[in-house]
Amino acid sequence: MNSTGRGRARLIEGLGTYHLEIRHVTVLFIVILIFQIVVSFLHKTSLQKSLTSTQELYQQDSAERLANLTTTSLELLLEAVHSDRPLAPADVEKTVQSFNIILSQQTLSQTVGELCILIPTAEGIGAIDDGQTLYRYMFEGLRSLPPPSAEHAGAVERFGRIRDELVASEEIRTMIEGRQTFHVFVPFVPRGEFVGVVYMKNTPDFSAITREIVSGYDETSMTFSALILFGLLAMFYISSYTLRERNEAQRLLFEKEKERLAEQIDHQKETIFTKRIYHTHHKAEKVMGFIKEDLRDLSGGNIEEVKARVNKYANFIARVIYDMKWYDPPVQTIRGPLFTTDLNEVLRFLVANVFQRVSTDSGEVRFVWDLDPRLPPVHVNEFVIWEVFEPIIQNSVVHAGVDRLVVSIRTEHDPSARMSRVVIADNGKGIARELLEASERGVKRIFLEHVTTRPDGSDHSGYGAYLAHEIATQRLGWGLDAGTGPAGGAVFTFTIPNHG
């Protein structure tokens, strides 16, 4: 491969190494560009509003100034003409021509659409738009003005609406039509006497100036956006070199942290597994004691009964030993169609052959049964169910806190909901309110690890309800809830879906 090909490959490899930075810069540019567009739009809108408002004010001022200048010119011309002596025909023609120039010169502008003098008379309002009629009215006593033409009908109608107010104030009045057409009425007062008004329809247009200003602002915005783009690209190319070593150091740090976390998780799993086995080994010791006791009491009359009981004890011990081999046992060893377990039978065996074979420090313990014979079998290993029910019953026996303990066990089946329930309750002091509060995971604190009400604070306490809840909810798909009954005792409810 030649040097050009190697350089191209290195360039592609380098770009691939920093694809995250390219994305970051792209997103940053897009965000800034969007902000720039929004700001430019808002500024442009505000500028247009400001220019429009300024334009309207200037348009009205310009229209009024032009109308006032025309009126002043007419008044000055009238002042220059002597009315105390007759004028020569040549002077009369010259004066009329001057009036015509003033009245017609303004209409040559593209913005002035109409110009006339409105004079109130006995017949109504007359409109003068030529010098001959104006001369005759001012110097020859003409009082019968011709009716206004259709061209001046709008001006006459508007003057009629403000006539009284304008005569009283003798001030310039402007009526605005739309946004750019101004109807200006200037009092016509030659020699200090109010005669009428000079009307001018003016439509000044300054939109070209506004367009130039807005166009210049658009160019500035585009230039600023381009400068931002080039600046960000320059920042990217400069930072690419400075970030290379940092990225490599972060990668190595992440790899080390990943290894450390993996070791920590494995250690936690091993610790939990060890504690779980330590917690359950005493149950195996207790069951081994039952086996020895049954063997000592073995006789010809009870051999079948003892054999069946010892067989279940031995299977439970085998299950405990099997659990020592696996942190997460295979699912087929826990539940499946090969297992058909009667929950009523399991509960009766546990109570009769485990709990009622030992004496407790709490005094007399009495079990009350309410078993539903319609309860369907479950496809779960019988001895896994032992691990679920035994800690909950043990919790009632140990933590009830009363001398005459009554533990009630009820099973029920709801065919319509395809659900079964197992309720284990006692008449003890109940469960503390703080233990029934939900944790961050949404699990009640009584089912958390290391949570116990034992006063000795043993390191290996607080695992019974935790293990029962973990096995029931995580491995069997059951529900397990805890609460305090109406009479004050603890109540544990297993919810078991029926899949048959």
Task: Please report whether residue 383 resides in a domain.
Answer: yes
pLDDT at 13: 55
65 and 201 housed in the same domain: yes
Amino acid at the residue 318: A
Please count the structural domains in the chain.
Answer: 2
**228/226 Cα distance (integer angstroms):** 5
Q: Is residue 450 part of a domain?
A: yes
CB 212 within 8 A of CB 172: no
Is 332 part of any domain? yes
Is residue 142 a part of any domain in this protein? yes
Q: Is residue 308 part of a domain?
A: no
Domain termination site, one of 205, 224, 244: 205
Q: Is 246 within the bounds of a domain?
A: no
Last residue of a domain, one of 149, 182, 205: 205
| Contact yes or no for 263/321 (Cβ under 8 A) | no
Residue 87 placed within a domain: yes
Strands 173-177 and 479-484: unpaired
- CA pair distance 392, 135, nearest whole angstrom: 121
* Per-residue pLDDT in tens (0 to 9) along the chain, 500 residues: 555 566 555 655 554 454 445 666 667 777 777 877 787 778 777 777 776 677 667 777 888 888 888 888 888 888 777 666 677 788 788 888 888 888 877 777 777 878 888 888 877 888 888 888 888 888 877 777 777 777 888 888 888 888 888 888 888 888 888 767 888 899 888 877 888 898 888 887 766 777 777 777 777 777 877 777 777 777 777 777 777 777 788 888 888 888 888 888 777 667 666 666 666 666 777 788 888 888 888 887 888 888 888 888 888 888 777 777 766 678 888 888 888 899 999 999 989 888 887 644 445 788 999 999 999 999 998 888 888 898 888 888 888 778 888 999 999 999 998 999 999 999 888 888 888 888 887 888 888 876 666 555 444 455 778 888 888 898 889 999 999 888 888 999 999 998 75
Task: Give the per-residue pLDDT at 23.
Answer: 66
Taking the CB of residue 28, how many other CB atoms lie within 10 A of it?
Answer: 14
What is the span of the domain harbouring residue 374? 328-497
Concatenating the DSSP letter of every residue in 299-312 gives -TTTHHHHHHHHHH
Q: In CATH, what number is assigned to the domain containing residue 364?
A: 3.30.565.10
Residue 232, judged by CB atoms within 10 A of its CB (0-12, 13-18, 19+), counts as middle
Give which of 340, 348, 455 is closest to 409, Cα–Cα. 348
CATH of the domain at 88: 3.30.450.20
Identify the sign of the CA torsion 14, 20, 21, 27: positive
Residues 191 and 59 in one domain: yes
List alpha helices for 81-147, DSSP H: 89-105, 131-139
The answer to whether the beta carbons of residues 28 and 232 sit under 8 Å apart is yes
**Assigned domain for 161 exists:** yes
Q: Is residue 482 located within the same domain as residue 345?
A: yes
**Same domain flag for 189 and 336:** no
Task: Yes or no: say if 483 and 468 are a contact pair by the CB < 8 Å rule.
Answer: no
Single-letter code of the amino acid located at 141: G
Residue 447 contacts residue 462 (beta carbons within 8 Å)? no
pLDDT score recorded for residue 361: 44
Residue at a domain's end among 189, 205, 221: 205
- Long-range pairs, 447-456, Cβ under 8 A, ≥24: 447/480, 447/482, 449/272, 453/399
